[in-house]
Structure formats: C-alpha cells, structure tokens
Structure 1
Amino acid sequence: MGDDGPVVSVVIAARDAAVTIGDQLDALARQSVDVPWEVVVCDNGSTDATAAVAESHASALPSLRVVDASAAHGAGGARNIGVEAARGSVVAFCDADDIVDDGWLAGIVAAMRDQDFVGCTWGMSRLNPEHAEGLTMGPTFRLETLPHLAFAGAGAMAVRRDVFLSAGGFDTSLPIGEDTDLSWRIQLAGTPLGEAPQAIVHIRERSELGATLRQWYRYGRAERQLRAKFAHVPAPVGAATPAGQETAGQAAELADSAKRKVRRLFRLRGWRDVAPFLQRQARRAGLRWGRIDRSVRPYDGPGSAHAERAKA
C-alpha cells in the first residue's frame, strides 16, 4: 500500500496464549524496518487473558489491533480472519508461542522486494536448550508426497495479500497441515515459494514426551490426509528432492543419526536423548494409521489431472 497505510501486516493467531504472547509482542516491538507496518492479533476464542495481554502492548506497538476470531475454525481460520482485516499488501505470519528474531521483519521486507511468497528460517536452540547452539532449520521443507513442491511453516512465512486471497487462504477443513496445503496450492497456481533466510523465527518445541509424540503423530496423519487431497496432482517424471533440501522425514533421520553418535559417548539422561527416534516413529504411525477425513475435498485446481483434462 502507499503512504496512507501499512506495507506489512504481521498476523498472529492466538488461543489461550496469555503466558507466551507477551514475549512475542516484545520481540516485535524490537523490530526496525523502513516501511510502515502493523500487528493483527487474532484471538481464537481464548478463555484466558490473551486479549488483555496483547492490548497491554499497544504503547510499544501503536499499530497493534486485536480482532475477534472466536468464530474461526482453528488457527488457519483465525489467520484467514486476520488477513481479511489486514491493511498491508504483504502479510507476515508468526505464532503466539514463538519469538521472532530482532531482524525478522527486516529480513522479510528485504526478501519480499523481489518475491511474492517466502518461508522463514527456524531457530531451534534459543527456546529449546537441548539443541546445539545456533541450530536452524528451513526456511522451506519438502514431503515425499509431492517432493517437487516445497512448503513453509504457517508461523514462519510471508506472502502478498492478493496472492493469499487468490489461493483461498488456509483450508479450514484441515485440522493440521494447512500450511503445507496452502504452500502447494499457491505454487500450483503459479507463484513460486522462495526463501527469507535472514528472517529467523525462534521455534518453541513441546516440552513433554506425550505432547511431542501426539504432535508428530498428527504430522504423519496430516501427510496422509494431504496424500488423499492431492492424489490427482502428478509429480513430474523423475522429480526428486533438490540438493540442499530435506524432507521432513529426512530431517528427523539426520537428527537421529547425530543423536546416535552422541549416545556412544554419553549415557542416556532422558527421553530427549532419543527424541528424534521417537518423533520419527510417531510420524510413521500417523502416516500409516492416521484417520483420513473424507469430507476434505480433493484438490482439483491448477496442476491437477482434472484441470489438465479441462484445458485439453
């Protein structure tokens, strides 16, 4: 947009995030960029003080708005409401329980000067001390289902608002994996997924074993659901994961290999010492046995067999 409004809208979906959202908003208050921007917090029906904590940061973030997203279905639906309310031509997403690096927004602004859709780098060590200092992942990832299409995490991406709206936003019928789904649909419609490597988001992982295993089971189930949804999108002949890119499964296996080497030198001290192995097994279980929601409509847009037949 022009001088009358923000260029970038930071959209945060939040539900019962009173404990963590303050740290995220403090991190946003430390951003320094040469374009006007705003923050849109989408309160997804919180029963705690999420909205009050967010509103208390209005003095540090004068452009902050809290919008009611209680009617939305999940985080994807809340983000959709945030994008509808956004006034910027670029929408940047981050999560209420993570912390963006001080140069995150500047990295996005720089990357979006010549790109329309980008993923951000994941910083893994700041909020998860069990990881080696400086460990990062991303900015983009791939799955074996459609290895020629990358995806970015929903809490670590930026996109032109018109591109997002043209794609239909996040699919609220998907309980998880809506970020991969959106990434694929945007690319199939003709907009490539690029990278903003200097835009770092410090990711907060689950701290309990049960929650970690449930999360990774859901990741596997999400991929199973996406396989069903995108069954009519053929991968190009000979498509393979490009050099330098990792699939989600490969990333876990690489981490597991490193852990095995460490265990040769040190005794196991807890479940985190075998976390990558457990995560991989939980993901495999979800991929094999996760329930497929048959109400999710198969993708039949650009790049699908249906669209190719229609063109013919």
Structure 2
Amino acid sequence: MTSGPARVSVVIPTYNAAHVIGQQLGALVEQIDAPAFEVIVADNGSTDNLAAAVGEWTSQLMQLRVVDASRGSGVSFARNTGIRAASTDRILLCDADDVVSNGWVAALGRGLETHPLVSGPVETTRLSGRSASWVPVPSLTTGLFETWGGRTYGIGCNLGIRRNVWTEIGGFDETYPAGAEEIDFAWRAQDAGHAMGYVADALVHYRIRTDLRGVLKKQLNSGRGSATLYAKFRPAEVVPKSTIRRVRHEALLLRRFPWRGTPDARRQWLCTAAFEAGKLWEARRLGTPAP
C-alpha cells in the first residue's frame, strides 16, 4: 500500500458487519499499484462489535477510520456521511460484506481520470455459494447494468465518483428503501450530463446472503426501490399494467411455482415473488401504478 497523503477515498457504508468486514479490509491491505488511499467506515448505528473489528486493521491500513453515520438510517445516508468525511475528491464505494479484487483501487482510480463516474464487474459465486443462483444477478457481469429503456447504472458496491458530481446532484437520495438508490443516482448524474464509464479490471466479489429470509428481504426492498424509481422519474418507455393485466401477471407467476422442481428452483421463485410483492407494496404506499 502506497504511503503519503491520500489521493483516493474508499467509503464503506456499514451496519452490523463485524463478522465480515475483516475480509474486505484485508483485501484493501493487499491492493497492488494503488495510489495512496484512505478508508472510511461509515457506521450506520451498528450494535455489534464493529469498532473493535475495524480497530484490528489500523496498523495495516494507516489511513483507516470510523465515522458516525447513526443520525439517519439506510445505506444512502451512510454513503453520504462517509463521502462528506472524505478528504479527497475521488470517492470509491464498496460494501462491508464483499471483497474487492487486488487491483480494484488502482483500476477505479484510473477510471476516474477520464470519467466522472465509473463502475466495474461483480462475480457472485466465490462468497455466496449456492445462494448465487437464487437471485437474477449473473455469476459474472461484463458491463454496466441496464434497466428501462436501456439506461445504464453501476451497482452500489462497486462505484467510483468524483466529488463534484456527488455535490452537483445532491448525493444519494436518502428516501429510498435499500434498493435502486444507485440507479437513481446514475440517472440523475446522466441527466446532468455525467456519463458513467465501465472499468473491466475493477472486479468485486459480491456476497449474496446464504439465509433465505435475508435474501427475500433484500429482493422485497429491491422491488420497493423499483416502484420508487418509477414514481420519481415516470419514464415514458414504461407502461404500467392495467388492473386486469396485473392480475393475470401475478396469477401466471403463482401458476409457475416449481412444485416438482429442486429446492433451489423454489427459492428462485420466492425471490421473484418477493420482488413483485415489493413493487406492489411500495406503489400502493406511494399512490402510483406499479411498473
């Protein structure tokens, strides 16, 4: 790890991750050809032994510190708090329960020399095992994620942002549930003229939770985020289903339950159902059609 004043800031939004954050911090210790960087753990009100877990790494990551992000809740609040505390104008975002590759800091840092925002690939099998097949995320991504109308975005656990972009668009929207906030950020940045670049060498090993309840909660929140995104932007290319078509769509989903399938097939179905339920729940709460 290069010494000297930090040129890049790594921000890690964190909540109750004492049991896994050591893997991420260990990966940051092992960075190759990276510019001098600081690491900011934005603690979103953890009730576990996070401070002690982070403290074990201060001798190897000399510019490592924990900042208090407990005055609000959610990953967007923690990210914004960590970014405000950062001392540089080059911000890299990763999550406490993932593991960055050993060239991640260098790759995203280089990407920010030519792009205002950057993201890289994720792979889902190393940390997740069989649960990687439960959710609709490829085992290895090869480009930016796409959503409605071919609009692209970078996954929140693998982002690089110039501070001026974050400032200009008002940071991450803290009203979102824990899903789709990175899409909202990318869309607002694009609307302001800041295109996102893709950095193929900036790989992150992405952890999908191995407990089904946790995975379903995440999928439910992703569905809620999708409905929030639609309510906020109302993209013209998205035509909400009529009541009759919505009922038919959900009935078809129910008929497709894999009664004779494998346990993993049934878990995949449950994840899809949780996402759909999240969309309907949040759309009803917001008083808008479900996308």
TM over 0.5: yes
1:200 aligns with: 203
Q: In structure 1, how many angstroms separate the alpha carbons of the residues matched to 2:204 and 2:98?
A: 7
Per mean C-alpha deviation after superposition, the further-off stretch among 280-289 and 83-92 is 280-289
Count the aligned residue pairs: 259
Q: Does 1:287 align with 2:275?
A: no
Q: Per the alignment, do residues 208 and 106 of structure 1 end up closer, same or farther by CA in structure 2, a change over 3 Å counting?
A: same
SS at match of 2:194: coil
Task: Report if aligned partners of 2:4, 2:36 keep a CA contact under 8 Å in 1.
Answer: no
Residue correspondence of structure 1 range 141-152 to structure 2 within 5 A: 141-144=145-148, 147-152=149-154
Q: In structure 1, how many angstroms separate the alpha carbons of the residues matched to 2:168 and 2:55?
A: 31
Q: Per the alignment, do residues 85 and 292 of structure 1 end up closer, same or farther by CA in structure 2, a change over 3 Å counting?
A: farther
Match among 109, 128, 135 for residue 139 of structure 2 = 135
Q: In structure 2, how many angstroms separate the alpha carbons of the residues matched to 1:18 and 1:84?
A: 23
Which residue type is aligned with residue 166 of structure 2?
Answer: F
Q: Does 1:7 align with 2:7?
A: yes
Task: Report if aligned partners of 2:17, 2:96 keep a CA contact under 8 Å in 1.
Answer: yes
Q: Per the alignment, do residues 294 and 286 of structure 1 end up closer, same or farther by CA in structure 2, a change over 3 Å counting?
A: closer
| 1:274 CA drift (Å) | 4.1
| 1:110 CA drift (Å) | 2.6
Q: Does 1:180 align with 2:172?
A: no
Q: In structure 2, how many angstroms separate the alpha carbons of the residues matched to 1:57 and 1:139?
A: 33
Q: Per the alignment, do residues 143 and 288 of structure 1 end up closer, same or farther by CA in structure 2, a change over 3 Å counting?
A: farther
Q: Per the alignment, do residues 279 and 62 of structure 1 end up closer, same or farther by CA in structure 2, a change over 3 Å counting?
A: same
Residue correspondence of structure 1 range 204-223 to structure 2 within 5 A: 204-223=207-226
Gaps of 5+ in 1: 237-259, 261-266, 296-312
Q: Per the alignment, do residues 19 and 34 of structure 1 end up closer, same or farther by CA in structure 2, a change over 3 Å counting?
A: closer
1:140-190 deviation digits (Å, cap 9, x = unpaired)? 21223xx24212121111111111111111111112221111111111110
SS at match of 1:113: helix
Q: Which runs of 4+ in 1 moved over 4 A?
A: 233-236, 291-295
Residue correspondence of structure 1 range 206-245 to structure 2 within 5 A: 206-231=209-234, 233-234=235-236
Match among 158, 167, 175 for residue 169 of structure 2 = 167
Q: Which has the higher helix share?
A: 2
| 1:234 CA drift (Å) | 4.2
SS at match of 1:136: coil
1:10-44 deviation digits (Å, cap 9, x = unpaired)? 00011111101111101111012342211011111
Q: In structure 2, how many angstroms separate the alpha carbons of the residues matched to 1:34 and 1:122?
A: 20
SS at match of 2:215: helix
SS at match of 1:159: strand
Which residue type is aligned with residue 141 of structure 2?
Answer: M
Identical residues among aligned pairs (%) = 34
Task: Report if aligned partners of 1:124, 1:137 keep a CA contact under 8 Å in 2.
Answer: no
Q: Per the alignment, do residues 183 and 282 of structure 1 end up closer, same or farther by CA in structure 2, a change over 3 Å counting?
A: same
| 1:128 CA drift (Å) | 1.7
Q: In structure 2, how many angstroms separate the alpha carbons of the residues matched to 1:63 and 1:53?
A: 16
Q: In structure 1, how many angstroms separate the alpha carbons of the residues matched to 2:286 and 2:97?
A: 31
1:277 aligns with: 269
